[in-house]
Chain A
Amino acid sequence: MGLQTTEKPFLERVEEAKKDKFMQGSVAKAQDAQLIKREDARAQLGHWQQWRELGEQIRKETVRYLPDYLEEFADNVEKQGGHVFFAKDDKEAAAFIRQVAVEKKAKNIVKSKSMVTAEIGLNKQLLSIPGVSLMETDLAEFILQEDDWDEPTHIVFPTLHKNRTQIQKIFQKLGYKGDNDPSTMAKFARKYLRNKFIHADLGITGCNFAIADNGMINLVTNEGNADLCMAIPKTQVVVMGMERIVPSLKEAETLDNMLSRSAVGQKLTSYCTFCGKKQDGESDGPDDFYVVIVDNGRSKALGTVFEPVLQCIRCGACLNVCPIYRHIGGHGYGSIYPGPIGAVLSPILDGYEKFGDLPFASSLCAACTETCPVKIPLHHLLIEHRRIMMDKIHTDHTFTNQIMKIIGVGTGSPFLFKSVLRFGHVGLNVLTTKKPANTVSGFLYQQGRVGKVNPPLPKLMLGWTDLRDLPNVSKKHQNFRSWFGKHTPVKAVAHPQPLK
């Protein structure tokens, strides 16, 4: 799979997504349900803004001293007999894990949900080993796998775009004979996958947080499949983005509370597990324990204005509040990391050529920044991406670029702006075509309006008038400044008594 899920151009993806009414309905429903659950869970905790400050501090400091924390963690894993591999990119990470699978002669691999394994394109690598069976065991990932490796559409709810009947059809290919009741289908998946677990010899999991001072891995889940992936097979491979580390169990515990509330509105998810290599005397858990720490472009954020993106704990709350995500869903973004975090992260990981459209796919409403539990200034970082593309590398040589420069010049010079105030209405009035009467009353169209217009007008103007009527520019003698120059001040009824 890899980071990029499709090579279709952005607008084509958006148009496709907009046609998928079921997806839009289920995303909206999910967002609305999560809004209530999430805000309720945060309110019950109390002092949410101070919790955010603590969460931010934990993540900021671990990113600040990242090489030191990773070194401490690797030392502790190795002290317990585990192994650590540092992978500079996706290819190296996937190749190393393939190498482990081959060395261990693994035949039956079970995986629990992990975004980073999707990012490094791991499944394709493992399935290229002759005779290997590989099962995604998270219910949603299992459904995607059995649907010919469909792409996830959300980092927490990967199958948000599928309805129960589609899932029933997918399961029927595996011999399922029941109805489309989610509970019945989940029972079928339990039975089907239980058999895979029992015979598994290699387990692969992601990692919510790695614990630097004792070498443990923290996983936060609801179904129990991740725990079976690290209980049953003799070998376990943990794949983690290099930033997913915390100083000790205590900070992991703090963040688990914030992650559970932010991701799914639960106080804690069903399973918050802290684990490592099997110890003497224990009979299950991995004899061989590997941790693969992945850079894959993350280090490009270090030491730059984008460093806060590494604070992310992958809760998906920013997707759940995003009005753009609400309408185009995950597939519209073309990255396995969709939504606001994806729009910030994807261009860092793999460049503006592939993902340069994403930072512009935002109205900068800042709902993402407001909800982020670790205070990543997401909408600011979107502007930073735009700034780099526009000011520094000039990727946009279109007409819009020229217009923006003219606006920049126009709004930077009082003289030019006043010329617009004086003459602007002349230009627009010429364009005004015959149109039906206004249905909107109030101040909007007191000076008249511009309806739908045609080329060769500037693209920006078309973008506006394709959807909406535009108010006319005030004529000079009717604008505010001329009014102010001649108006008689209203009689004061009270003397101001400022409170501050």
Chain B
Amino acid sequence: MKVTIFDTCVVDLFFPQVAEDMVEVLERFGCDCDVPTNQICCGQPTYNSGYEKESIKTIHNEIDTLLANGSDYIVGPAGSCVAMLHEYQFMLKDDPEYAEKAKELAAKSYEFSQFLYRVLGVVDAGAQLDTVATYHRSCHMTRLLGEAETPYILLKHVKGLDLKPLPHVEKCCGFGGMFSAKEPTLSQPMVDEKVDSIVSTGAQTLISCDPACLMNIGGRMNRRGIKMNVMHLANVLNHNVDPSRIKFVKDVDKAAI
């Protein structure tokens, strides 16, 4: 199965470890990965700020690049960016050249946890991580991509992981792309409330499927001097893996998922 890695600009610029762990997990499950080097960014920073014209070129480039290799699937480590790939088909519905391509892209694109569970049928990735953790649910992954389940399913089966529910899990962390930089005075109380909620769980580890949210929350925690181990789901699922623990949907009772 050929999988094109949509590595996202944030991961590309700042967080190589996230993409590396994601690739290794996918390879472990037999995916033949490629990383097209012309990909840049999904276009959210400018599009969501209202710069539509400036964004279209970015979006066209992303579509062309991700579809170029004709892979079976396109997988990314960021719920928000993958949600944006799914939005293209609506933005470009009147674009004679790109309307169809955008639909094809949406049909093939998955967020990492979604792909593992919903396409590969992975329930237990074989990982072990001895820690008390909590999970931050990103707004775009939950509400725009519509995926609220798969990270929890995969985390539930990580050996040694004690996952605490996060109070106010539905609240935005205050990232919002350019919002966090353009409107710091609004973003600050949001990220502070998120940090406080996470601390209140007693977790030592914070996990999410959106590196940008983690950059925001973790960046604030570091500034406030709060001790926290910040991990992407891919880091967790590639940690201390024992292949004998791996389980698929077909191997387990429905109730055990």
Question: Which residues of A line the B interface, CB within 8 A?
Answer: 11, 14-15, 18, 24, 32, 35, 321, 323-324, 326-328, 360-367, 369-370, 383, 385-391, 400, 404-405, 407-409, 411-414, 417-418, 420-421, 424, 436, 438-447, 449, 451-452, 460-461, 463-464, 466-474, 478-481, 483-484, 487, 489-500
Contact = CB atoms under 8 A, between A and B. Distances in A.
A369 B146 CA distance: 13
B54 A469 contact: no
A400 B118 CA distance: 40
A196 to B, nearest CB: 41
B46 A408 contact: yes
Contacts of A323: 171-172, 174, 190, 193
Q: 4 tightest CB-CB pairs across the interface, nearest first?
A: A408-B54, A363-B176, A386-B50, A468-B219
B61 A412 contact: yes
Chain B interface mostly helix, strand, loop or mixed? helix
Interface in B121-153: 121, 126, 139-140, 143-144
B218 A18 contact: no
11 contacts: A11-B185, A32-B168, A324-B190, A364-B177, A404-B54, A418-B37, A440-B227, A468-B180, A483-B16, A484-B23, A494-B246
Given A327-B189, A468-B223, A474-B16, A387 B176 contact: no
B40 A411 contact: yes
Given A444-B15, A445-B222, A480-B11, A391 B53 contact: yes
B216 A468 contact: yes
A473 B16 CA distance: 10
Given A327-B190, A388-B50, A439-B227, A479 B182 contact: no
A498 B120 contact: yes
Residue of B18, B172, B176 with highest tally of chain A CB at under 10 A: B172
B48 A498 contact: no
Interface string B19-59: 11001100111110101011111010111111111110110
A472 B222 CA distance: 14
B14 A471 contact: yes
B9 interface: yes
Contacts of A500: 118-119
Nearest to B54: A408
Nearest to A24: B189
Contact of B218 (A361, A444, A463, A489): A444
Contact of A438 (B121, B187, B222, B243): B222
A494 B219 CA distance: 37
B215 A496 contact: no
Given A421-B12, A444-B218, A464-B184, A469 B46 contact: no
Given A466-B184, A467-B188, A468-B191, A365 B119 contact: no
A460 B178 contact: yes
B228 A405 contact: no
Nearest to B16: A480
Nearest to A475: B16
Residue of A14, A32, A447, A489 with highest tally of chain B CB at under 10 A: A489
A405 B43 contact: no
Contacts of A481: 7, 12, 35, 37
B80 to A, nearest CB: 10
Size category of the B interface is: 35 or more
Given A483-B20, A490-B27, A500-B118, A411 B222 contact: no
A439 B228 contact: yes
Contacts of B51: 387, 390-391, 404-405, 408
Residue of B11, B14, B51, B144 with highest tally of chain A CB at under 10 A: B14
B255 interface: no
B231 A361 contact: no
Given A387-B50, A411-B9, A496-B120, A467 B226 contact: no
A324 B53 contact: no
A478 B176 CA distance: 28
A245 to B, nearest CB: 29
A374 B19 CA distance: 39
A370 B137 CA distance: 15
A439 B185 contact: no
Interface of B: 1, 5, 7, 9, 11-20, 23-24, 27-31, 33, 35, 37-41, 43, 45-55, 57-58, 61, 65, 72, 118-121, 126, 139-140, 143-144, 168, 170-172, 174-191, 193, 205, 214-216, 218-223, 225-232, 235, 243, 246, 248-249
Contacts of A474: 12-16
A388 B49 CA distance: 10
Given A417-B9, A466-B184, A498-B1, A369 B16 contact: no
Contacts of A321: 170
B200 to A, nearest CB: 14
A271 B250 CA distance: 53
A308 to B, nearest CB: 14
A443 B184 contact: no
Given A407-B46, A417-B9, A443-B230, A366 B215 contact: no
A497 B121 contact: yes
Contacts of A478: 16
Contacts of B214: 444
Contacts of A464: 180-181, 184, 219
Contacts of A441: 228-230
Contact of B121 (A471, A473, A499): A499
A294 B192 CA distance: 42
Contacts of B24: 490
Given A324-B186, A442-B230, A499 B249 contact: yes
A413 B57 CA distance: 8
B57 A479 contact: no
A148 B55 CA distance: 49
A365 B182 contact: no
Contact of A367 (B20, B143, B220): B143
B13 A370 contact: no
B249 A442 contact: no
Nearest to A390: B50
Given A421-B13, A464-B184, A479-B12, A362 B57 contact: no
B1 to A, nearest CB: 4
A470 B227 CA distance: 16
B12 A391 contact: no
A170 B194 CA distance: 36
A411 B187 CA distance: 24
B174 A15 contact: no
A188 B99 CA distance: 64
A18 B184 CA distance: 13
